[in-house]
Amino acid sequence: MITIALYLTIGMVTLAAVLNVYRLIKGPDAPDRVLALDTLYINAIALIILLGITLARACTWSRRC
């Protein structure tokens, strides 16, 4: 069950990052682009953490890292 939640969360954070890239490119003003870049940075950190949790979980289940 936790694996499904992890994959679902990774998908949602990835979608948020893609939408941030769209706002970064299409932003009407400079403050919108700065805010999109800041949010993209936070989403990238969240993705790194989620992938680390997912890979560590797979590593402990298979016992082959």
Q: Where are the alpha helices (DSSP H) in 1-65?
A: 2-26, 30-62
Question: What are the two backbone dihedrals, phi and then psi, of residue 41, each rounded to the nearest 5 degrees?
Answer: -60, -45
- Residue labelled with tokens 């989620």: 50
Higher pLDDT, 28 or 61: 28
Q: pLDDT-derived band of residue 10, with 50, 70 and 90 as boundaries? A: very high
- Is a pLDDT exceeding 80 seen at residue 6? yes
Rounded Cα gap, residues 57 and 11, in angstroms: 17
pLDDT of residue 39: 96
pLDDT in tens, 22-60: 999 998 999 999 999 999 999 999 999 999 998 887 676
How much is the pTM? Answer: 0.82
Residue spans per domain, the chain: 2-60
pLDDT of residue 56: 84
